[in-house]
Amino acid sequence: MKTLLDLDNWNRKGHFLFFKQMDEPFFGVTVEIDCTIAYANAKNLKTSFFIYYLHKTLVAINAIESFRYRIAGDQVYIHDNIGGSATIGREDGTFGFSLIDYDSDFRIFEKIASAEIERVQNTTGLFTLTFNEENIIHFSAIPWINFTSLSHARSYSFHDSCPKVSFGKMMISETGKRIFSMSVHVHHGLIDALHVGQFVDHFQELMNSQSTKPIIIPKSQLHS
């Protein structure tokens, strides 16, 4: 489900119209994430660390309203929930795009993600489904590289407003802390650095939590 955003009463209307006309309206940042507790939690749950932090990413995405905005023509829609299109690697070295529906319950999400990963790994080619969904983020893991910045292949003729989140190689610091890089690219017509900061802070909070249940952010802490 999605709701039409009232542009005329949106305090960011001018920002939207300004950045929407640009050839490259996306901007990106790379930050370091402490994944020490999250990695231990995933091991205790006997689950995939990839699925674990993908779920945390989607919990944080769904908590920040601006990350659920998508552009359709000259309009902006607010989606009720956002899933993930993650790149899934195969034994032959290729990868395919997945479609993983979001569920706030980790164990339900784990089953959904595991089934979709298995499906993609048993197919060939890049597109294994018809991708018409807008209520997704583009998600990827690059576990071979400890990157400090990242760019994405982009076609300017293809109108896209989905956030792109990527993770790098997990490293162990001298103090034993586990860390990895997270890259976040977003459409500036919909999302500002303020909102990216909210997302990063909330994601780190979720990664530090012992609970698999979403943390509710008070509306007073969110800015649109």
Catalytically annotated residues = 188
Q: Checking DSSP bridges between strand 75-79 and strand 69-72, what pairing results, if any? A: antiparallel
Least Cα distance to 17 among 8, 28, 4 occurs for: 8
How many Cβ atoms sit within 10 Å of the Cβ of residue 19? 19
Query: Do the strands 26-34 and 95-97 form a parallel or antiparallel pair, or are they unpaired?
Result: unpaired
40-55 burial: b if 16+ Cβ within 10 Å, else e: ebbeeeebebbbbbbb
Q: How many CB atoms lie within 10 A of CB 205?
A: 13
